[in-house]
């Protein structure tokens, strides 16, 4: 018996636990694709795998519901692979270890994959169920949503038959989403030269750890620290004060996750060692004084290490530090149309290096295309002026709200009747695949909802157990009350 098998609704939790046992980080979804394919085939349902790995499973209407509009239940198969630095875990080979902490399900030191494993499990549970009423059902499971929306980008026209799409990738029970932001990746590259380390220098590894990180759309307005920005803040000071030379830098990992950790190796004149270590402690106090309430586990420290043979050339080092300092990050503008919604943001997501280049990656989001374009020009200007090569890729459109949506009206009525209150109707700053679906299937009537998931894209990810039952009950009733065919 699994750790989650006693939770309700059993149909969802048992399938979700099976999903946890199958490694499925973005770009490595072959095993989860095969699992879902076999799931559909074992039920005797029409099952299709398209050219990129999207899976479509069709289930006929239950008796008496043949006159309902066809509904597409949609979720994505990949998960964000994030772990604590002290956790030994290989996302490509190791299963996720779910644990129950009070009234929540989390993972042991890694992301849980409730984003979007719970949504996938719910769709599979509908396909498996023999005791719920519904019209024609299609379940669409897309690949690589988290790192490129590859599945949604490559979805072919004419493949889907349903008129209504319910996206199961939202993360606040009691809220129905009708719109989302579009996104754009900024890919920045510096070419650098190696210079021999100074014989009179000593070396330190500087670590910034313990930040919460989180989803760069959902959590961008939470006030959390960006590890790349904080580390760079110290580097600029230390370049001027201690004449440091940078040999190694590694901050953040995924474009859609707020960076939680940053590590650098620097050299500096040996006679400045004492003042340098004192400055590290002082900056930790500064960071904690500014972010202590939202980042209580922040740690900033340095340890002496063997001196590297080489450092990055001085010009590139200074250009990089100045550009990172000047790069816009976090919330750029709030929405005028929908109070409380972030309109435009940037996540300075990762800084990586190899033997020849330093790569900086950002994810820009906006529900206003012109604002996204303007932000891209600002980022382009900052980095081009510093000698970097800048390219933009992976752009995807936002999803424009339709407040007259027939399925939205049904969902609002069902929720109020079942739970005694009106659900909130919202747009989301995160990217959902609905915008891309609308480009291929412009007549789709779409909404999105899900259970409450907190801290997605970080090892603190958790799903609130009680909300999964409400999510399931709501989904079942919406399917039962789907609009009739005209």
In the set 17, 29, 78, 171, the catalytic residue is 78
Query: Does 9 sit behind a cis peptide bond, omega within 30 degrees of 0 on the bond before it?
Result: yes
Distances 109 to 74, 122, 187 between C-alpha atoms, Å: 28, 25, 29
Known catalytic membership, residue 66: no
Burial (CB < 10 A; 0-12, 13-18, 19+), residue 455, is buried
State both tokens at 222: 């939470």
From 29, 115, 138, 145, the catalytic residue: 145
Taking CA atoms, 208 is separated from 190, 205, 250, 299, 358, in Å, by 23, 10, 11, 6, 19
> Is 145 a known active-site residue?
yes
Q: How far is it, in rounded angstroms, from Cα 295 to Cα 275?
A: 26
SS3 track for the chain: CCCCCCCCCHHHHHHHHHHHCCCCECCCCHHHHHHHHHHHHHCCCEEEECCCCCEEEEECCCCCCCCECCEEEEEECCECCCECCCCCCCCCCCCCCEEEECCEEEECCECCCHHHHHHHHHHHHHHHCCCCCCCCEEEEEECCCCCCCHHHHCCCCCCCCCCEEEECCCCCCCEEEEEECEEEEEEEEEECCEEECCCCEEEEEEEEECCCCCECCCCCCCCCCCHHHHHHHHHHHHHHHHCCEEEEEEECCCCCECCCCEEEEEEEEHHHHHHHHHHHHHHHHHHHHHHCCCCCCCEEEEEEECCCCEEECHHHHHHHHHHHHHCCCEEEEECCCCCCCEEEEEEEEEEEECCCEEEEEEEEEECCHHHHHHHHHHHHHHHHHCCCEEEEEEEECCECCCCCCHHHHHHHHHHHHHHCCCCEEEEECCCCCHHHHHHHCCCCEEEECCCCEECCCCCCCEEEHHHHHHHHHHHHHHHHCCCECC
Q: How distant, in Å, are the alpha carbons of 17, 255, 285, 287, 300 from that of 117?
A: 9, 20, 39, 35, 34
> Catalytic amino acids?
78, 145
């Amino acid at each position: 018996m699994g750790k989650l098998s006693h939770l309700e609704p059993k149909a969802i939790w048992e399938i979700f636990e099976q999903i946890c046992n199958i490694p499925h980080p973005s770009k490595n979804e072959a095993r989860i694709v095969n699992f879902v394919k076999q799931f559909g085939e074992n039920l005797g349902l029409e099952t299709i795998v398209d050219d990129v790995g999207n899976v479509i499973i069709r289930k006929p209407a239950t008796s008496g519901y043949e006159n309902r509009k066809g509904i597409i239940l949609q979720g994505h198969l990949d998960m964000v692979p994030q772990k604590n630095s002290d956790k030994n875990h290989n996302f490509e080979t190791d299963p996720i270890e779910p644990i129950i902490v009070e009234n929540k399900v989390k993972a042991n030191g890694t992301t849980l994959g409730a984003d979007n494993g719970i949504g996938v499990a719910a769709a599979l549970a509908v396909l498996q169920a023999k005791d719920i009423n519904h019209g024609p059902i299609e379940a669409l499971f897309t690949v690589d949503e988290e790192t490129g929306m590859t599945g949604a980008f490559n979805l072919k026209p004419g493949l889907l038959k349903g008129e209504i799409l319910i996206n199961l990738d939202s993360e606040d029970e009691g809220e129905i989403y009708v719109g989302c932001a579009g996104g754009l990746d900024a890919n920045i590259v510096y070419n650098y030269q190696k210079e021999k380390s100074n014989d009179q220098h000593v070396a330190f590894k500087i670590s910034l750890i313990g930040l919460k990180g989180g989803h760069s759309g959902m959590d961008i307005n939470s006030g959390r620290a960006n590890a790349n920005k904080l580390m760079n803040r110290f580097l600029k000071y230390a370049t001027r004060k201690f004449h440091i030379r940078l040999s190694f830098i590694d901050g953040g990992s995924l474009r859609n996750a707020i960076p939680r950790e940053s590590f650098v190796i620097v050299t500096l004149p040996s006679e400045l060692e004492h003042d340098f270590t004192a400055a590290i402690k002082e900056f930790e106090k500064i960071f904690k004084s500014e972010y202590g309430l939202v980042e209580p586990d922040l740690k900033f420290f340095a340890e002496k290490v063997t001196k590297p043979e080489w450092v990055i050339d001085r010009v590139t080092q200074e250009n990089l530090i100045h550009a990172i300092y000047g790069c816009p990050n976090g919330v750029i503008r709030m929405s005028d149309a929908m109070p409380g919604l972030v309109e435009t943001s940037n996540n300075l997501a990762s800084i990586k290096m190899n033997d020849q280049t330093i790569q900086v990656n950002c994810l820009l989001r906006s529900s206003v295309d012109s604002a996204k374009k303007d932000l891209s020009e600002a980022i382009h200007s900052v980095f081009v002026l510093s000698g970097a090569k800048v390219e933009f890729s992976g752009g995807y459109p936002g999803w424009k709200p339709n407040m007259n949506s027939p399925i939205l009206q049904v969902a609002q009525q069902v929720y109020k009747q079942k739970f005694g209150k009106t659900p909130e109707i919202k747009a989301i700053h995160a990217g959902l695949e609905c915008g891309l679906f609308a480009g291929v299937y412009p007549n789709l009537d779409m909404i999105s909802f899900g259970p409450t998931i907190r801290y997605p894209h970080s090892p603190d990810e958790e799903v609130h157990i009680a909300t999964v039952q409400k999510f399931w009950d709501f989904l079942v009733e919406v399917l039962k009350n789907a609009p009739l065919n005209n």
